[in-house]
Amino acid sequence: MDFKLTDKQIEHRKECYKVCAELEKKKPKTWVGFESQFDNDEGWDFHRYCAKEFAKRGWLALGWPKEYGGTGDMMEKVLFAEARGYYDLAGSDIFGVSMLAPTLLAAGSEELKKEFLPKIASAELMFCELWSEPNSGSDLAGLQTSAVRKGDEFIVNGQKTWNTGAHRADWAFGVYKSDPNAKKHHNLTFMLCDMKTPGISVKGIPYMSGTHVYNEVYLDDVHIPAKYIVGQENEGWAVVNVLAGFERSNLDMVYGLVRGVEELVHFCNENKRGGQPLSKDPMVRNKVADIACQLEAVRTLAYRVADQQNRNEMGLMDAAAVKVFASELMEKYSHVACDILGPYGQVKHSKFAKMNGAPEYTYQGCFVPIVSMGTNEIQRNIIAWYGLGLPRMK
């Protein structure tokens, strides 16, 4: 058992924290949290600015094999995520960098790798995901958007939904029903497409906080060249599963909470209630310490996942556990923080807010990680079926 990082990794982490700390100072005033990158133009500009700064240093390709411009060390990628999460920065495209790039490396053709990996590494292209549909959420494999092959291209028709950042993205990766007669799980094709392709229209769905993160995407006779298939035609479900395995070391979410706890401790030390600092209140101390314990527990498990991935073991069950635990801890943290703020727990990011309105933001923002990327209930099914070997009810 060895939790120690190498000197090179420690040096890299230091550099990541330094660069991210500088970038934090340039956050636009409207920035409330990670989702701000999609909500408004300043947020998106800041995201692209950070992305360019990271690209310059080769950090968007961390963990990739050396032949594609990476260093081959997954742990460096994880440490970069940690620093970004701590400073609540965007700049690493969750779809392009975190999901699509490793999927292309694992399942993409040489042509696709050559065409897209450099553009992801340089932050030239930002991606979105076209997966869920109005009648296909958790049961993703039952989706209906059709892709009919005509020679060298597919004609795609249907509707996608909950598409984070689709109103900003340059390209999309999507999954479509390409064979209406084949068996479930062998009837889907995974393809990339330019979001400027004629026939694509995007309509925002406001999140409960009023921010513009999610969208509906309508596809009306959209022509997608067959060369943009990832994996095999009609075997897109296998690619979906490969991708689903890449998106979850979740160190960025965990380190967002690390910062959150630090700020809560600072607030409690600096603010009085009834003439006494909040930090002297035994109830406050107990609650904050409890959150800190849970956070350290999930932080160590997230490192376990990173350690497994670094050895090319997928660690899917532990990754699912981290996703469930960290997102629900975010919810618990927001409740504790809002309670400590008292009546100010409801005040949004503004000149009136305490702690920059972060607790209010997290109080409703926590549902994004809880329901996305496979809801926590789906994660619990996955753990039960594949981790514990419990029977799957038909």
Q: Which is nearer to other proteins, 206 or 342 (CB)?
A: 342
CB 190 within 8 A of CB 127: no
Q: Which is nearer to other proteins, 186 or 304 (CB)?
A: 304
The angle subtended at Cα 170 by Cα 165 and Cα 175, nearest 5°, is: 75
Closest approach, Cβ 352 to other proteins, in A, equals: 26
Q: Which is nearer to other proteins, 190 or 325 (CB)?
A: 325
Q: Which is nearer to other proteins, 157 or 271 (CB)?
A: 271
Which residues pair with residue 206 across a beta bridge? 212
Closest approach, Cβ 149 to other proteins, in A, equals: 38
Q: Which is nearer to other proteins, 52 or 304 (CB)?
A: 304
Per-residue tokens: 206 = 């406001």
For residue 202, give the nearest of 222, 230, 232, 187 by alpha carbon.
222
CB 160 within 8 A of CB 118: no
Closest approach, Cβ 391 to other proteins, in A, equals: 4
Per-residue tokens: 152 = 């060298």
Q: How far apart are CA 52 and CA 264, in angstroms?
A: 32
Closest approach, Cβ 277 to other proteins, in A, equals: 7
Closest approach, Cβ 249 to other proteins, in A, equals: 13
Closest approach, Cβ 199 to other proteins, in A, equals: 40
- Give the CA distances from residue 126 to residues 104, 122, 232, 337, 374, in Å, rounded to whole numbers and listed in that order: 15, 10, 24, 34, 22
Residues that bind other proteins (CB under 8 A): 1-5, 75, 261-262, 265-266, 268-269, 277, 279-280, 282, 284-286, 288-290, 292-294, 296-298, 300-301, 303-304, 306-307, 310, 317-318, 321, 324-325, 377, 379-381, 383-385, 387-393
The angle subtended at Cα 104 by Cα 98 and Cα 110, nearest 5°, is: 150
Q: Which is nearer to other proteins, 197 or 381 (CB)?
A: 381
Q: Tokens 């609650």 sit at which residue?
A: 287
